[in-house]
Structure 1
Amino acid sequence: MSTKISAAARLLAVVALGALSTPALADFVRFDAQSDGRPDLAALSDRLDREEPLIMAALNVPGAAVAVVRDGETVWSTGYGLASVREGTKVSADTVFQVGSISKTLTAWGVMHLVETGQVSLDAPIESYLTRWAFPPSAFHSSGVTVSRVLSHTAGLNRVDGYPLPGDQPLPSLEEHLDGNNGGGQSLRIEMEPGQQFNYANAGYTLLQLMIEEVTGQRFSDYMQEVVLDPLGMTDSTFDPEQVSTQATGYYPNGVPLPHYRLTEQAAGGLYTTANDLALLLAASMPSSDGGLAGRGVLTSESVQTMMASRDMPDGSVVSFGHLPEHLDGGLAGTGNNGHTEGWIANMVMIPELGEGIVILTNSDTESTGLTLRAWTQWLGVSETFTTQAADGDLDESRTILLGGAAVVFIGVLVLIIVTAVQARGGNRRWLWQTGRTTSRQFAVRGIITALAIGGLIAFLAWPERQVYVALLPAEAATVLVTVVLAVAAVILRASTRQASK
C-alpha cells in the first residue's frame, strides 16, 4: 500500500515539473527573426498583445498606448484598455495623454531652432536673454548658467517642482512660478557650481520657456506649435491646454480619477500628445531607410546630433540636451525621456544605432512602462534600460515575497510528504477507501478539501499577476508554481489517505 501512495506522490511531482514547460515560459526568450536578421515585428506585437493587458490588470492601469519606430518610421501602434473608465472610452494610438517631462525633449528642439536661426547661443548665459526675471543673489555667478547647461541639467540650479491646478483655477505667471509661487515655496536659485554635476531641475526648463517667449515675442505654446509640432506632423499635440478638446483621464494608483490639470511650466511638463505623434518625434530623431536625414528639415541633422550627443560630467554622470542618455551592453547608446506627473506616466526610448524606438503612454500614476520596455529590449536582444531597471527595483519586494513565501510553503509541504511516506512505509497509512472505517461524512469533508485544493490551483493559474510574474520574474514564478502544485498534491494525498485501523 505504501508503494502505491509513494508512486502517486511521485506522479504528482512530475506533473508539477511538467508545468514549467508551458508556452508562456517558452515564449519568454524566443523571438523569431525576419529575413534580414532583425527581430520580427509580429513577435513583439503578439507578446505585447498578450502581456500588456496582464500588466495593466496587475498594476491597476486603466489604459496604455504603444508605438514602435523602426528605421525612421512608425511600424506598429495600438492602444490597450480605457481612456475613461466612467465613459468606457477605449484607448487608441491617437488618444491624447499628458506626458510630463517628455515635454523637455520637444522644448530642446525649440531651443535648437533658435540656435540655428542665430537668435540664441548655447554658450551664452541664459540671463542675457531675460528682462522679466533675474536670479536671486547666491555664492555662484549667474554667468555660468548657460543655455546649454540649463538644457542638460548641469547649471547648478535647485530642483523646483511645479504643481498642477484644475482648469477653473488661475495659473501663476512664469515669473511668479520662478519666484516661489509653485506649490513648494522655493524660488529658482543657483545652489551649486555650474557645469560640475547633473542635478535635475524642472524650473530650468521653465526658465527656457521664459527665454523663448522673450526672444521670440510669442507665447511659448504658439512658438512650439509653429516651429516644432506642426512641421514634424505632430498635429494632435499641443502645449496649450485650451486647445485640447478631448483627452484621456488620468488616475491615481487606487483608480480614483483626476481632474484635467494645467501647468504654468509647459516647457518642463505641459505637453499633450499621442503615441503616434511621439513616434514621429522619435522617427525624426534618426535617419530613415529612404535616405531622410535626422531632423526632417525642422532641424538640421547636425543640430539633432548636438542635442542628443552624450556629455560626460566631472561627477561621472552622462548628459545631453532634453534627453536622458545611457550606455547599453555591447557599446550601444540608448536615449529618450520619460514623464511622471499626477495621473500619468510616459516613456520613450530609442537606440539610434539600431534604428529602433518605442513610445509607451499610460493614464495611471502607477509605473508599468518599464515592464513593457522589458519586452521591447528582450525582443531586440539588448540590455535593459534604466527604466526597466527601476521597475526591477520595484519588483524586488515582490521577488522577496514570492521566494520567501515559496520557501515557507515548500518546507511545510516537504515535512508533510515525509510524514506521509514514513506512515505509509510502516503500514500506518492507507487510501481512504481501504481503511474500512471511513464514514460518508468523512468522505464528503475530505472530498471538499480536495476540491478546494484543486480550485485554489486553478485560481492561482488564472491569477493575472502570476502571468505577469511569469514574464518578468520567470525563475521566481517557476519556483512558486512548482511549490504550489506540490502543495496541492500533498494536500490531496493527505486528504485521500488516513491512519489505518489498528
Structure 2
Amino acid sequence: MDSPELALRRDVVRVLDRWPTAGLAVAVVRDGEPTWFHDHGVSDVTSAAPITPDTVFRVGSLTKTFTAVAVMQLWEQGRVDLDAPANDYLSTFRLRPTRPGLRPASLRHLLTHTAGVGYWRRWSDLLHPVSGAGVEARRLLPLGEYYRGGLPQEVQPGTKWVYSNHGFAALGQVVEDVSGQLLADYLREHVFDPLGMWDTDLVRSARVRSALATGYLVRSRGLVPAPDRPVPTPGGGSLYSTSTDLARYVECLLHQGAGAGGRILEASTVAEMFSPQFRPDPRLPGMGLGFDLGVEDGHRTVGKSGVVSGFLAALTLEPSAGLGVVALANTGGLSGQGAPTEVCSAVIRTLLDLPEDRLRHDVAPRPDVWAELCGWYSPAPGPVTNLFARALMGAGAEVVVDGHRLVLKPLTPVPALRRGMPLHSDDPKDPYAFRVDFSELGMGTLPVVFATADAGRRARTLWLDLMAFERRPDLRNPRRLAAGALAAGVLAAGIAGPRRSGRGSGRGSGRASSRNPFPAHVPPEGS
C-alpha cells in the first residue's frame, strides 16, 4: 500500500502529465495544520531557480476571498449592512442601473455575483476584452476613472449568477470608502499581518518582488513568458502570495477565523460565508460569500480558483474534515486550463479516501425521461450579462440523444465543445440530475440539473452549475436555422449552377447534392 505522501505525489504527477507547468507549489493542511508541501519545477526558466514554499505567485481571483473577508470584518463591526444598497457605501463611483425598475444591488449581491453586473461592463468592452473584463490592463486607472459614468447593473439583482471581477472591484472600493484606508493597507493591517502572511501583498511591493516567479504560456515551441500586466480591478484579482502564506490562510479558515496571531473573523461569520447564499436549485451546491461551494461524493467543499496570464491558482477546503489544499502554478493562459484546480481536486479526494473518477458509474440512465429534456436552451435574459455564458456556450446548448447517450452540445464553433459531452446520471432518485465532464477545458466536472414544471412535462430550465439556460422553441434553434440556410444555399446552387454553365439541370443538381456533406434529414451539427 502506498504511503500517504507517495499517493499525493502520484496525484500531482498524474495531473502534470496532462497539464505541464514550469513550476508548481502545493500545500496541504490536515487536522487544521499545514502537514505537506510539494514543489515542482522552476520559478524562472532562464535562471533555473527552483520553486519553494516561499516562491511568490500571482493568484488572481483568490483575491476575492480576501476582499470578502474584509467586507465581513466591516459587517461584524456594524459599519456595513450586507443587505443595504452598495451605493450607500460607495463614494468613488456608483452602480448604475441600465433601465428603470431595477432594485438597488446590495453587498450580498456583489459577494455572490448576483448584482446584475456583467463579466464585461458593456458591449464596447469586446473591443478590449481583457481590460474590459477587469483581468489585465496595460496601465492602471483609478477606479473612479475606470468606471466613469458608473458600473452598469443590467438585470434584477438576486435573480441571475454572473461571474464578475467588476463586482469585487466595487467591494474593494467599499472597503476603502468605509475604512478610509487603501485596500492594500487595510488587508495588510487586518488580515495579512495577523495571520503571519509576510510574503503576501495586494501590490507588487518589495516584500513580494524579489521572490516573484515568472509567468509562462505554453506555445508550439515550448514555454514563452506571459505579458506582465497589472489587474485593473484590485479587489478582484491583484493578490501576490506563496503556498506557505496561503496554507496559513487556509488554517485560519479551517479554525473558523482564528489564526496564529489572533482571530480575524467570528466563527459564525465564517460559517455564513461557507453557506449557500444564492442557490437557485436545491440540488446545486450554490454560492457562498466570496467562496465557491462544491460537493465531492457527498463531502461539502469550499474553494476558489484564480487566473492571471501566466499564473493559475486554486484552493479547496473540506471544513468538516479539517482538510485544505492550495496549488499555485506559473504556467497558464486566461482560459484557466492548467494544473492547480485539478491538483486540488485530486489531492482532496485522496485525503478523503474517494475514488479518482468523479463521475458516478453506479447510476443507471433513465431514457424514459429523455424526451422531456431534449431541446434547445439559451442563456436567461440579459445581453451583456450573457457575454460570459456565450463565450463558453455560444448561442446556448442543445440536449440530444447521440449514440444511445444523452449529450449536451454547446451551439458554438469551438470543435472541442461542439462535439458535445455526455450527461452522466448523478442521482439514482433523480433522473433530472447529471454531471458533465469539462476537464478538457480545465474545469473538472460540473453539475447539470433540469427544472420541470411538473411530472411528465418538458424541462423549462437547465442549470449548468449556477449558469441558467432557459428552454426555447425548437423552431428558433440557431442550428436548425443555419441548417435551413445551408439547405437553401445548396438548392440555390443546384438551380443557378446549370444556368451559369449551360448544362442540364439534372447533372447540375446532382453535383450540388453530392457536395453537401449532410443528408437532407441530418442538419450540420454545431452550425
- Write the distance in 1 (CA, Å) between the matches of 2:39 and 2:246: 14
1:233 deviates by 1.5
Q: Does 1:282 align with 2:250?
A: yes
Q: Is the 8 A contact 2:135 2:165 kept in 1?
A: no
Gaps of 5+ in 1: 1-29, 32-41, 181-186, 397-502
1:315 deviates by 5.9
Larger Rg: 1
- Write the distance in 2 (CA, Å) between the matches of 1:209 and 1:118: 17
Q: Does 1:85 align with 2:45?
A: yes
Q: Between Structure 1 and Structure 2, how many residues are aligned?
A: 344
Gaps of 5+ in 2: 121-132, 360-434, 444-527
Q: Is the 8 A contact 2:92 2:143 kept in 1?
A: no
Q: Is the 8 A contact 1:71 1:355 kept in 2?
A: yes
Give 3-state SS (helix, strand or coil) of 1:262's partner.
coil
Match of 1:355 in 2: 322
1:237 deviates by 0.4
* 1:422-455 residue CA offsets vs partner (Å, 9 max, x unmatched): xxxxxxxxxxxxxxxxxxxxxxxxxxxxxxxxxx
Q: Does 1:374 align with 2:336?
A: no
* 1:194-252 residue CA offsets vs partner (Å, 9 max, x unmatched): 11121111100000111111111111111111111111111110001234322001101
Q: Does 1:242 align with 2:205?
A: yes
Q: Is the 8 A contact 1:286 1:355 kept in 2?
A: yes
1:259 deviates by 4.5
- CA, structure 1 residues 172+328, in 2 after alignment: closer, same or farther (shift >3 Å)? same
- CA, structure 1 residues 313+240, in 2 after alignment: closer, same or farther (shift >3 Å)? same
Match of 1:262 in 2: 230
- CA, structure 1 residues 140+226, in 2 after alignment: closer, same or farther (shift >3 Å)? farther
- Write the distance in 2 (CA, Å) between the matches of 1:204 and 1:97: 23
Alignment of 1:107-126 (within 5 A): 107-126=67-86
- Greater fraction strand: 2
1:54 deviates by 6.2
- CA, structure 1 residues 306+393, in 2 after alignment: closer, same or farther (shift >3 Å)? same
1:339 to 289, 293, 306: 306
Q: Does 1:69 align with 2:69?
A: no
Q: Does 1:174 align with 2:143?
A: yes
Q: Is the 8 A contact 2:325 2:347 kept in 1?
A: no
Q: Is the 8 A contact 1:111 1:212 kept in 2?
A: yes
Letter in 2 for 1:245: R
Letter in 2 for 1:376: I
Match of 1:481 in 2: none
1:379 deviates by 3.9
* 1:133-162 residue CA offsets vs partner (Å, 9 max, x unmatched): 123342255653101110111112111311
- Write the distance in 1 (CA, Å) between the matches of 2:259 and 2:197: 18
Letter in 2 for 1:306: E
Q: Is the 8 A contact 1:241 1:262 kept in 2?
A: no
For structure 1, which segment, 197-206 or 129-138, has the greater mean C-alpha deviation from structure 2 after superposition?
A: 129-138
- Write the distance in 2 (CA, Å) between the matches of 1:170 and 1:107: 22
- Write the distance in 1 (CA, Å) between the matches of 2:185 and 2:246: 19
Alignment of 1:58-457 (within 5 A): 59-139=19-99, 143-160=103-120, 161-165=133-137, 170-179=139-148, 188-243=151-206, 244-246=208-210, 247-254=212-219, 255-287=223-255, 296-314=262-280, 318-330=286-298, 332-365=299-332, 366-372=337-343, 373-382=345-354, 392-394=439-441
Let me know the Cα RMSD of the aligned residues: 2.9
Give 3-state SS (helix, strand or coil) of 1:311's partner.
coil
Aligned-residue identity in percent: 32
When normalised by structure 1's length, the TM-score is: 0.63
Letter in 1 for 2:300: A
When normalised by structure 2's length, the TM-score is: 0.60
For structure 1, which segment, 229-238 or 369-378, has the greater mean C-alpha deviation from structure 2 after superposition?
A: 369-378
- Greater fraction helix: 1
1:110 deviates by 0.7
- Write the distance in 2 (CA, Å) between the matches of 1:83 and 1:315: 43
- Write the distance in 1 (CA, Å) between the matches of 2:442 and 2:88: 47
- Write the distance in 2 (CA, Å) between the matches of 1:384 and 1:50: 12
- Write the distance in 2 (CA, Å) between the matches of 1:322 and 1:306: 11
* 1:315-353 residue CA offsets vs partner (Å, 9 max, x unmatched): 6651111100013323x2101100112111111001011
1:389 deviates by 7.5
- CA, structure 1 residues 108+395, in 2 after alignment: closer, same or farther (shift >3 Å)? closer
- Write the distance in 2 (CA, Å) between the matches of 1:375 and 1:209: 32
* 1:255-281 residue CA offsets vs partner (Å, 9 max, x unmatched): 111253322211100000011111111
1:52 deviates by 3.4
* 1:390-415 residue CA offsets vs partner (Å, 9 max, x unmatched): 6634489xxxxxxxxxxxxxxxxxxx
User: Which stretches of structure 1, 4 residues or longer, exceed 4 Å deviation after superposition?
Assistant: 140-143, 291-296, 383-391
For structure 1, which segment, 306-315 or 49-58, has the greater mean C-alpha deviation from structure 2 after superposition?
A: 49-58
Q: Is the 8 A contact 1:53 1:81 kept in 2?
A: no
